[in-house]
Structure 1
Amino acid sequence: MRIAQAHSLAVSRTLLTLLAGVCTVALATVAQARDGKITRIAVEGGFPPFNYLDAENQLQGFDVEVARALCAKANLSCEFVMQGWEDMIPNLNADRYDAIVSSMSKSEERMKLVDFTDSYYTSPSVFVVRKKTEMPDFQSKSLGGLALGVALGTVQAAYVEQTFPDAKVTIFPSSPDLYKGLADGSIDVVFEDKLAIYDWLTNTRAGNCCEFKGPDIIDPKFFGDGAGIAVRKTDTELREKLNVALAAITADGTYDAINAKYFPFSIR
């Protein structure tokens, strides 16, 4: 695979420095509260509408609201930790937080490293192109020569690496950067979670540039059976508490109310 960097090294270093600063502050805060039985929840904060920072720099989104509802139902005192995507699982296993509620798909590779709760939503992956782009050749290992974009550290990136080994691929540090690259013509096509990019296509001016193309992709090897909450393999008690709480917020209508706030259709 030929990989073109999406940003200059200087920009990447700046981004990593900013992320590290956010994480350091958050981790220091929860470390002080460790004796108070705080359950620490990690989210990326860069994957709207599932998790993102609003204009007041507060965490919002579907994942965040589901996590809050689960904590309330399970009678857990919870705090959120901002965490860059690449270090999500390593830092969970390093005990820097207790669970990941950040639209993490239950792939085979991840299930070797952590345990997951029951799935709390499902979403296929899709290709999105600029509206005047010719139909991609999805059977070609080079994707018909089109410039393809994916987000760093995602299951979509892993799928592309194996399925389109000869494609010209640009790896972007986050989904918002990926969408910007498609809108400004830096790339021709992206491969992304359908629900995530649906929000961009339908609710942003920039998204008017583009459209879905080709079939939904559902491959359990890469995408598992939906998004789950990741916990350490030794933390069976927390996993079971979250599973019981998930069943409860589904039964009492809380989950459906959160779902309806972000999507005009069920994502279960």
Structure 2
Amino acid sequence: MKTTTLLTRLALSTLLGLSLAAHAEQESLRLGIEASYPPFAYKSQNNELQGFDYDIGEALCAQMKVSCQWKEIEFDGLIPSLKVRKIDAAISSVSITDERKRSVDFTHSYYRIPAKLVTRQGNGIEQIPQQLNGKRVGVQRGTNFDRYATEQFAPLGAEIVRYGTQNEVFLDLLAGRLDASLAGMVAIEEGLFKQAEGAAFHFVGPDYSEERYFGYGAGMAVRKNDPLGQRLNDALAAIKANGTYDSIRKKYFSIDISGN
């Protein structure tokens, strides 16, 4: 009788421990982010993460009653890190494309902004894409901008130069080592036009929003068939309904980027 009681207590204790461990695991969400893409994700002077993507992630975690654990990863390493379970989701301006959907699932889009080509004024690039022949076009490696430039600009004679971050692209553009860059419109406005030398640059050509390249807006990437995707969708809908999303949006943008 005593042996049976002891075994029962041990079993209950084990089950309780497993339950608490599972609960603790559920209360922490590992989120991947590339922190060199202002105003979506960047570092403060105190080396702290901030930006639109970061604030949205924190709001989603608060809505889901879990704690965010942010993991900084270069953009082209986000989906590989997700697939090998180093992170649970990527919240880092990842465009929802058919190609990416073959390897990961996405939540609903949480913003949508067109891509633009930026050049220094007076450098002779006005007719796009014809006048890109022989020009150096900088892109962030592994992005939809990289794919578009590679498939559309390179065959016409442009040299596509790839970088780990968009900030590196802007530095070489300012230094004259690049002739143009293809990137998100807001990223260019924030990361280049607002710099002291930014007045020397301007947009040329059309808005780029072709869905087969630029997808259906930016979403949060999760592993295939992971229920986390639906939980994030529910939380996103909730923060849009209660005004949190719009409050965060107004902190960074004067225009509606929700894509609704």
User: In structure 2, how many angstroms separate the alpha carbons of the residues matched to 1:163 and 1:101?
Assistant: 28
Task: Tell me by how many angstroms 1:34 deviates.
Answer: 9.8
Q: By how many angstroms is 1:35 displaced?
A: 5.2
Output aligned runs, 1:130-141, within 5 Å.
130-140=120-130
> Which residue is 1:213 aligned to?
204
Distance in 2 (CA, whole Å) between partners of 1:36 and 1:173 is 32
2:81 corresponds, among 82, 86, 91, to: 91
Distance 2:110 2:25 in 1: 28
Cα deviation, residue 266, structure 1: 1.0
Match of residue 231 from structure 2: 241
- 1:37-186 → structure 2 map (5 Å cutoff): 37=26, 38-140=28-130, 143-164=132-153, 165=155, 166-186=157-177
CA-CA distance at 1:87 after TM superposition: 1.3
What's the TM-score, normalizing by structure 2? 0.86
The aligned amino acid for 1:264 is S
Q: Which amino acid aligns with 1:168?
A: E
The residue that corresponds to 1:190 in the other structure is 181
Gapped runs of 5+ residues in structure 1?
Answer: 1-32
CA distance in 1 between partners of 2:38 and 2:257 (Å): 15
Output one character per residue of 1:89-140: Cα deviation in whole Å (capped at 9) or x when no partner: 1110101110000000011111111000000000111100101222333243
Query: Which of the numbers 239, 249, 254 marks the counterpart of 1:259?
Result: 249
Residues 122-169 of structure 1: CA deviation (Å, up to 9, x unaligned): 0111100101222333243x7233221111111101101110223122
After TM superposition, the structure 1 stretch with the greater mean CA deviation from structure 2, 162-171 or 225-234, is 162-171
Determine helix, strand or coil for the equivalent of 1:92: helix
CA pair 137-144 structure 1, distance change in 2 beyond 3 A: farther
CA RMSD of aligned residues (A): 1.8
Measured after TM superposition, the shift of residue 225 of structure 1 is: 0.7
Cα separation, partners in 2 of 1:35 and 1:96, compared to 1, 3 Å: farther
Residue number in structure 2 paired with 1:19? none
Partner of residue 12, structure 1? none
Conserved 8 A contact 2:30-2:87: yes
Residue identity opposite 2:133 in structure 1: G
SS in 2 for 1:243: helix
Once the two structures are superposed, what CA deviation does each residue of 1:167-226 show, in whole Å capped at 9, x if it has no partner? 122212210010111111111111111121121244321322211111101111111110
- CA drift of 1:54 comes to 1.3
Per the alignment, residue 225 of structure 1 pairs with 216
Whether the 8 Å contact between 2:38 and 2:190 is mirrored in structure 1 is yes
SS in 2 for 1:195: helix
Q: How many positions carry a matched residue from both structures?
A: 235
* Aligned-pair identity (%): 38
Q: Would the aligned equivalents of 1:183 and 1:209 in 2 still touch at CA under 8 Å?
A: no
Helix, strand or coil at the partner of 1:47 = coil
Aligned twin of 1:3: none
Q: What SS does structure 1 have at the residue aligned with 2:133? A: helix
For residue 153 of structure 1, give the secondary structure of its aligned residue in structure 2. Answer: coil
Question: TM-score of the superposition, structure 1-length normalised?
Answer: 0.83
The answer to whether the Cα contact below 8 Å between 1:129 and 1:189 also exists between their aligned partners in 2 is yes
Distance 1:223 1:99 in 2: 20
**What one-letter code is carried by the residue in structure 1 that aligns with 2:143?**
T
Change (3 A) 1:201 1:86: closer
Secondary structure (helix, strand or coil) at the match of 2:168 reads helix
Between the aligned partners of 2:212 and 2:234, the Cα distance in structure 1 is 27
Runs of 5+ unmatched residues, structure 2:
1-21
